[in-house]
Amino acid sequence: MLAAALAAGAALALGGCGGGSGTAKASSGDGRSAARPHSASASPRPSSRSLSPSPSSSDSGPASDSASKGRPLAGRTVVIDPGHNIHNADHTTEINKLVEMGDGKKPCDTTGTSTNGGYSEASFTLDVSRRVEKILEAAGAKVVLTQNGGRSWGPCVDERAAIGNKAHADAAISIHADGSNAAGAHGFHVILPGRVHSSVANTGPILAPSGVLGRDIRAAFAHTTGSSPANYIGDGSGLVTRTDLGGLDLSTVPKVFLECGNMRNATESRNFTSPVWRQKAAEGVASGLTAFLTRSTG
Ligand SMILES: [Zn+2]
């Protein structure tokens, strides 16, 4: 969905990603106003690679200390959710189908946004996710991607969450980029799950660990990319809590969304289209996940 034509508005019906939704909202609330279809779902066909190679670092005695330093994530499972799908725009009927999320029904998935030059959010999220996967696998983690470019659309948001749940992920992250047209809007933000309790969702148990994960991601991403927290949402904190994203509401494992910046911002659009910057972004995500996972391991 190329929102060049939609530029004017806050509600990029087709593309808007994340919390920005075009209006310069400096709120760290749960973003009800931004209730827009998002992504984040899962599918029963995870593109798991890395059935972790033999945990050689964890099977020996005290001498394994140095080995485990080389593979600090051995035995851990991470689910990475590349937001949207590059083919969603060709499957609007399928992605507009409503699915149950924590708090009602929402469309299966959305197309995502793009830079003004037409580089799509879905291309960006998939590229960064693959880079994160490589880094984490090298550190010994088992990594599952919710989609790896092989599907014609989706997965739906509920599926994206289900993949993380089914994998019993130690941490899950959904990678996105925002599409705010507010003048000067720039910066990244992490979206944390809010409290949702319904017949199909209960975020209570994941609120605290997701908060820790989100703060670890925020710190690491800022460090590796040099990016600032968003100036148009979250009061400059880089953190926003939302209850309207099925990918978070339906998660039973610690999970956050990362909006890596604003694709509509001219300066940041140069970042998104740069492989060098995307690698830095991936290193930030991997570093934040590693901090969280090694912290919880003790
Ligand atoms: Zn998105």
In a domain, 57, yes or no: no
Distance in Å, CA 286 to ligand 1 centroid:
19
The DSSP element (H or E) to which 294 belongs, if any, is: helix 275-297
Q: How many domains does the chain divide into?
A: 1
Count H helices, E strands: the chain? Answer: 8, 8
In a domain, 69, yes or no: no
User: H-type helices in 191-244, by residue range?
Assistant: 204-225
Q: Where are the beta strands (DSSP E) in the chain?
A: 77-82, 98-101, 104-107, 142-145, 171-178, 189-193, 239-242, 255-262
Distance in Å, CA 235 to ligand 1 centroid:
20
Distance in Å, CA 257 to ligand 1 centroid:
9
Distance in Å, CA 84 to ligand 1 centroid:
6
- To which residue do tokens 């910066």 refer? 187
Could you tell me the two tokens for 231?
Answer: 């100036």
Distance in Å, CA 259 to ligand 1 centroid:
7
| Burial label, 275 (beta-carbon count in 10 A; 0-12, 13-18, 19+) | exposed
Distance in Å, CA 60 to ligand 1 centroid:
43
Distance in Å, CA 113 to ligand 1 centroid:
7
Residue 19: pLDDT band (50, 70, 90) is very low
Distance in Å, CA 179 to ligand 1 centroid:
8
Spell out which residues have Cβ within 5 A of ligand 1, the ion. Answer: 17, 83, 112, 176
Contact 196, 202 (CB under 8 A): yes
Say how many C-beta atoms besides its own lie within 10 A of residue 107's C-beta: 20
Give the model confidence (pLDDT) of 246-263 as tens digits.
999 999 999 999 999 999
In a domain, 6, yes or no: no
Domain that holds residue 27: 23-52+76-297
Distance in Å, CA 137 to ligand 1 centroid:
24
Could you tell me the two tokens for 160?
Answer: 């994206």
Give the model confidence (pLDDT) of 26-73 as tens digits.
333 333 333 333 433 333 344 444 333 343 444 444 445 544 568 999
Question: Residue 196's closest CA among 184, 210, 181, 207?
Answer: 207
Distance in Å, CA 52 to ligand 1 centroid:
29
Amino acid 65: pLDDT: 53
Q: Domain holding 139: CATH number?
A: 3.40.630.40
In a domain, 194, yes or no: yes
Contact 139, 46 (CB under 8 A): no
Distance in Å, CA 250 to ligand 1 centroid:
17
Distance in Å, CA 147 to ligand 1 centroid:
14
In a domain, 63, yes or no: no
Backbone angles phi, psi at 52, to 5 degrees: -25, 120
Distance in Å, CA 92 to ligand 1 centroid:
16
**Cross-strand partners of 142:** 77
Backbone angles phi, psi at 128, to 5 degrees: -65, -40
Find the mean pLDDT for residues 148-174.
97
DSSP string, 69-124: HHSTTTT-EEEEEE-S-TTGGG-HHHHHSEEEETTEEEES-----B-TT--BHHHH
In a domain, 15, yes or no: no
Give the model confidence (pLDDT) of 190-234 as tens digits.
999 999 999 999 999 999 999 999 999 999 999 999 999 999 999
In a domain, 231, yes or no: yes
Say how many C-beta atoms besides its own lie within 10 A of residue 10's C-beta: 18
Distance in Å, CA 63 to ligand 1 centroid:
44
In a domain, 18, yes or no: no
Distance in Å, CA 66 to ligand 1 centroid:
39
Phi-psi region of 42 (alpha: psi -120 to 50; beta: other; left: phi over 0): beta
